A = this chain, B = another copy of it.
Amino acid sequence: MSAQPRWDPDFTPYVINAMGPKTPERARVILGSLIKHIHDFAREVELTPAEWMMGVEFINSIGQISTPIRNECHRICDVIGLESLVDEIANKIVTEQGLSPTSNVILGPFWSPNAPFRELGDSIIQNPLPNGQVTWMHGRITDMETGKPIAGAVLDIWQASANALYDFQDPEQSENNLRGKFRTNENGEYFWYCYHPTAYSLPTDGPAGVLLNLMDRSPMRPAHIHLMITHPEYATIINQLYPSTDPYLGIDSVFAVKNDLIVEFKPKTDDPKATLDLEYNVTMALKKHHPNPNSAPPVSSFERFNKGQKL
């Protein structure tokens, strides 16, 4: 940088200070910072008019491909790591003693508010596929500090089917296939049948595909099982579990792999209904340890719908 600024140093403050007195304080903070960073970005790279207009058309294209059940901007944010970062800012828990509960990662765009409660031991597989590897998944939820079991925690599980599609995306799947909510028993235990997860590509027919291609990155996500674990007294955990053998662990297109979420599927021979066994235990932190105990999880556009809708 030269001592003499090449461009009007008063311009960015002028734009920010144009906000009127009725701007809510939090909006003033957020928009002021956002405008400053966008301006700094433009100056830093000396963004040309043609490049800017490419960006304009790119942003317009995000909304144009979005539908009530396709949230392309959510996906773009995932691809640039923003959802992961926002999740870390909101939910990272480290106590003064250095204790942390099971990791949180991003919700992703496929959670549904409509998953039904099921009984412990039930299967979430409503529409079996021949290549689905049925897994007996089980584990225990305990308090991060006391190690005591947490009864009555709700585990909400969702996963893509063995064809790598979620129920929303696949007219062959019935609503809530591979979705379900389960409540831990008095010993903090849960158990159910699900599938070994299947790796899949982000949809590449829209702006996220354009961006990934430009960045010479893979659109693949490692195979994963989504979980949302809630309890009235404990900080909610939203995370994803990844098989340790997955080839995409190091290049997840949405930056959502953490070491404590990599799990081992083992062969199961004592159950005619399952060929694999997954033990997965969770530790939760009391709400008082959460940096933003009142912060809501991200509510995706699906929240607007009373029931699942097919594309």
Contact = CB atoms under 8 A, between A and B. Distances in A.
A25 to B, nearest CB: 12
Contacts of A88: 7-8, 11
A41, A71, A90 pick with most chain B CB within 10 angstroms: A41
A57 B11 contact: no
Contacts of A7: 85, 88-89, 92
B89 A21 contact: no
A120 interface: no
A288 interface: no
Interface residues of A, number: 81
Contacts of A64: 63-64, 66
Interface string A60-95: 111111100001111001001111111111101000
Contact of A57 (B26, B216, B301): B301
Given A49-B298, A63-B59, A255-B15, A215 B20 contact: yes
A297 B49 contact: yes
Contact of A50 (B63, B217, B299): B299
Interface stretch (A29-37, A163-171, A177-185, A279-287): A29-37
Contacts of A214: 23-24, 27, 31
A60 B86 contact: no
B40 A86 contact: no
A99 to B, nearest CB: 16
A71 B64 CA distance: 12
Contact of A47 (B21, B23, B89, B216): B89
